[in-house]
Amino acid sequence: MKPTLNTNLYSNYPQAIERAQDIQLLILDVDGVLTDGALFISPDGVEHLKVFDSLDGHGLKMLISKGIQVAIITGRNSPMVKMRAQALGIEHVFMGVDDKKSTFIELITQLQLEPKNCAAMGDDWPDLAVLSQVRFAAAPANAHHEVQQIAHFVSSKNGGRGAIREICDLILMAQNHYQDLLFEAKK
């Protein structure tokens, strides 16, 4: 039985389910997507804290469990991001990236994928070059308006506060995995 979507959440984006059906790779930015974008930097320039949402993390684990790969492409270097990615089983992590589009192209070439098999979530201008290439572009609710303009889906949640979980659930629903995972969780 095909799951029904929360019509309140997805009704403004009817093309989102169609675009999510063939996704094999989800690419994420970090600050403003995996986190709320706040930076806690000490006077000596060391970043001390990043806060990640556990619902987002579980959504990513579910995607990975169904064979959908996840990648992180971010402009900043952070040992906290590396640790979080390892904990979630995210194998493709690119930090300190100035040219996200080139990294995206190298990654999909390595994985033998096409842009039509990729989704991405970003929140600001450095993400636009990747978002404009993928089949399914998504943005958190608090993303910059230029990013929201090209997104096929804008989450009802802010970055670092459940936005990733919404896109994970949408992809899982579109690929008919959601109900099976829910059934397993209720056992």
pLDDT digits (tens, 9 = 90+) for 140-166: 999 999 999 999 999 999 999 999 999
Residue of 125, 163, 168, 126 whose CA lies nearest to 142? 163
Q: Tell me what pLDDT residue 44 has.
A: 82
Block residue for tokens 């096409």: 114
Q: What is the pTM of this model?
A: 0.92
**Domains, the chain, with CATH or none:** 19-186 (3.40.50.1000)
* pLDDT tens readout for residues 52-76: 999 999 999 999 999 999 999 999 9
